[in-house]
Structure 1
Amino acid sequence: MPGLVVVGVDGSESSLAAVEVAAREARLRGARLRVVHAFIWPVMPVPLGPSPLGPPDGGLQNMADRLVAEAVERARTAEPEVEISSDVVTGEPLTVLEAESRAADLVVVGSRGMGGFVGLLVGSTAVHLAAHGRCPVLVVRGQPETEGPIVLGVDGSAAGEKAVDFAFAEAELRKAPLVALHAWTTWNAPLPEPQDASAPYANPPGTLAQTEERLLAEAIAGHKERHPDVVVEHKMVHGGVREALIEASRSAQLLVVGARGRGGFTGLLLGSVSQALLHHAHCPLAVVRGTK
């Protein structure tokens, strides 16, 4: 059975941009596209149908049906060959889309929807899904492009392994180069084993940098063999992780990170780097949790 890409819509321009990105993802993957609108009003004590004094096509239910129809039409225009289904699902967006992620291969959302507060850079739905989604979550930020590399943030953690898998597969699907970026400082890099046991803190100059380069090489080892057509660039940055990835996102068509890295506190579902990128990345961002 073909895979499934789910896109959440609420009628905002951000969600309609997400529809086009989701339709393209579905085409590239040979997957089905499911357009979902979370309809919270049935659980509220409000009438859903048109007002007796208003037009017959008025009312909350008709409004929900129209915005889904508009999103489906946008998807069909963008990718006519993709199989599309749609649904208006009763519930609030966070719960509905988290449930949808259980059967999906990818969930796509806009960075901000209709319910956000003015001034927020990213909506609560995107942040919540990045932390709790059961599949990779693609948050459409900036102006989606079809040129430029896929940028992968590599930290060498076990939790980041699925992000590496996702980035290589995405680069192959898009026929795009992959930039595997690892940023480190003396504060976030683990100390290398001392080479002289009699001097436990003595290491030759450059040992830490060499250790970090080896970490990057080991993190993507084997993936190149499984994706031989992907052109990979190793990029080491001596500096802050967030700053390096935000800067790299300026020229990328997609940024891929794990939900949590090696520096987070145990129990956190979304690390500080992922949260910063959700707010400040200049291109669409895929957040990949370690488990589905």
Structure 2
Amino acid sequence: MNSANGAAVVVGVDGSESASRAVRLAAREAARRNRPLRVVHGFIWPLLRVPVTAPDHAPPGAGLRHQAEQVVGDAVATAAAQCPGLRVTGEIIDGEAAAVLLGESPTAALVVLGNRGLGGFAALVVGSVAMQVASYADCPVLVARGTADDAGPVVVGVDGSRRSRAAVEFAAATASSRGARLHALHAYTHPTSAGPGDMQPLVYEEGRLRGEEDEVLVESLAGIEERWPDVAVTREVVHARPVGALTAASRAAQLVVVGRQGRGELSGLLLGSVSQGLLHRADCPVAVVRAPD
């Protein structure tokens, strides 16, 4: 997470109901972190050479630029109403939505966006804007989807990797700021082949395998309770596929957190499988955290 002084929580808006939910979520997150909130709208029309100002004698409020100003103004008002006293600013930036948000990410503490655009096509938006931002942003990305259980834990997916450790630390800090429990979940399947043509072992010791997987979780959480002593931590190791296990956990969670590697390094809990699956299926907001390079 960008810890520079003054780093804002950034939220992308487009006038949709999904974006409004993202604004309310972003406002609460900014207030918890004592950070300003920056509302941005990617204004693509100038790039398409579409006239953005109203023609002469048009009725008040006409014109694409004015509509964009209204979208941002409404979002700023929504955030201010959600968290009175929060420092909120808004800006229209020429460009496509994902590019605009990625451009904001190097100096942001967190980027927040919805999972449905104005057209209501969740798969399209998750496959484009949210997926692009979650895959390439230089800061954590929070996607507003589902319904958060405010009494539930912050759930973090653990696989023993460096990206997993980054996710654990983000989840612990978030749980602390929310006064929530941290639930660390490690899901594993049977041993797999090492490469093409290799066979799975016909016999393996389930008890030994379970012990090894338990150790992965213990090592991934090393030092967390000392750094965040106010956070109650629960651990769970399950023999299941990660997407299914984390999706099930999301039904009673206020947030699910997963990690990713630096740019271009996608493996394990990667955007092509676990993170993508959660962005489509989770029943609560999902945070995707980039591991440091």
Regarding TM over 0.5, the answer is yes
Task: Show the counterpart of 1:193.
Answer: none
Structure 2 letter corresponding to 1:211: E
Answer with 129-138 or 1-10: which moved more: 1-10
For residue 108 of structure 2, give the secondary structure of its aligned residue in structure 1: coil
Which whole-Å deviations, capped at 9, do the CAs of 1:239-291 have from their partners, x for residues lacking one? 11111000000000000001259xx9669972411110110000000001113
TM-score normalized by structure 2?
0.89
Task: Show the counterpart of 1:62.
Answer: 66
Structure 2 letter corresponding to 1:291: P
Task: Show the counterpart of 2:151.
Answer: 147
2:172 is the counterpart of 1:171: no
2:20 is the counterpart of 1:19: no
Distance 2:213 2:267 in 1: 23
Q: Residue 90 of structure 1: which of 90, 94, 118 is its match? A: 94
Distance 1:285 1:278 in 2: 7
Task: Show the counterpart of 2:164.
Answer: 160
Deviation at 1:33? 0.3
Which ranges of 4 or more aligned residues in structure 1 deviate by more than 6 Å? 200-203
Structure-2 change in CA distance of 1:55 and 1:203 (3 Å): closer
Task: Show the counterpart of 1:219.
Answer: 220
Structure 2: tracts of 5 or more residues without a match: 195-200
Q: Residues 116 and 124 of structure 1 are in contact (CA less than 8 Å); yes or no, is this contact kept in structure 2?
A: no
Deviation at 1:56? 3.0
Task: Show the counterpart of 1:104.
Answer: 108
Distance 2:270 2:35 in 1: 28
Q: Residues 148 and 251 of structure 1 are in contact (CA less than 8 Å); yes or no, is this contact kept in structure 2?
A: yes
Task: Show the counterpart of 1:44.
Answer: 48
Structure-2 change in CA distance of 1:229 and 1:49 (3 Å): same
Structure 1: tracts of 5 or more residues without a match: 191-199
**Following superposition of structure 1 onto structure 2, how do residues 109-120 of structure 1 map, counting pairs within 5 Å?**
109-114=113-118, 117=121, 120=124
- Aligned length in residues: 281
Structure-2 change in CA distance of 1:126 and 1:152 (3 Å): same
Q: Residues 15 and 110 of structure 1 are in contact (CA less than 8 Å); yes or no, is this contact kept in structure 2?
A: yes
Structure-2 change in CA distance of 1:28 and 1:118 (3 Å): closer
Structure 1 letter corresponding to 2:291: G
2:132 is the counterpart of 1:128: yes
TM-score normalized by structure 1?
0.89
Q: Residues 111 and 141 of structure 2 are in contact (CA less than 8 Å); yes or no, is this contact kept in structure 1?
A: yes
